[in-house]
């Protein structure tokens, strides 16, 4: 009994110390964006990301909430809907199902950016991720320039509401 308890403690120490050698996964790009639903103040979509994980273990990201900004304007809260697993020691495509709960006045910001070729997208908040049963909150503050045709904002038919054309 004492030997198994010691082996569990040693295993936990090794696991926790391996977190110190943690390498942050790298988002290499994105293959696809699918708008699945636009209802009221909620936009549901899935995003296929190409992610490189150089760690010897798979990473898991739990459902999380972060603030979403377009052109430095708060659009709303981005909700990761399901746990996402990033395979170890390789670059792979990971499909991320998510939903945006739009902030007040966000539709006006969407109208303004729909005519641009590229927008600055920023995520800011805490994401819970980890290995096996050891999870930790990580602060995320990332910014990318994204082509608007990739976001498929024209499918929202925002311009059609007021007779505007893209």
| Per-residue pLDDT tens digits for 132-151 | 777 788 888 888 887 777 56
| Per-residue pLDDT tens digits for 23-80 | 778 877 777 778 888 888 898 988 888 888 888 888 888 999 999 998 888 989 999 9
- Nearest Cα to 25, choosing from 78, 114, 89? 89
Domains belonging to the chain, first-starting first, are 2-161 (2.60.40)
DSSP H or E run through 10 = helix 2-19
For 46, residues 6+ apart whose C-beta sits below 8 A from its C-beta are 32, 33, 34, 36, 95, 96, 97, 98
pTM: 0.71
* 3-class DSSP string for 38-54: EECCEEEEEEEEEEEEC
What gap in Å lies between CA 18 and CA 96, rounded to an integer? 26
| Per-residue pLDDT tens digits for 103-143 | 988 877 777 777 788 888 888 999 888 887 777 888 888 88
* Adjacent-strand bridge partners of 34: 46
């Amino acid at each position: 009994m004492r030997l198994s308890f010691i082996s569990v403690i040693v295993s936990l120490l090794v696991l926790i110390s391996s977190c110190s050698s943690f390498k942050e996964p790298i988002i290499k790009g994105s293959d696809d964006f699918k708008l699945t639903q636009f209802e009221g103040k909620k936009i549901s979509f899935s995003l296929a990301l190409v992610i490189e994980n150089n760690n010897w273990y798979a990473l898991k990201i739990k459902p999380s909430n972060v603030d979403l900004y377009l052109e430095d304007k708060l659009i709303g809260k981005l909700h990761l809907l399901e746990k996402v697993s990033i395979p170890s020691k390789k670059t792979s495509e990971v499909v991320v199902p998510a939903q945006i709960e739009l902030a007040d006045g966000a539709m006006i910001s969407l109208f303004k950016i729909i005519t641009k070729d590229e927008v600055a997208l920023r995520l800011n908040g805490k994401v819970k991720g980890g290995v096996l049963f050891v999870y930790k909150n990580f602060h995320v503050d990332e910014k990318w320039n994204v082509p608007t045709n990739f976001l498929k904002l024209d499918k929202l038919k925002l311009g059609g509401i007021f007779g505007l054309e893209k």
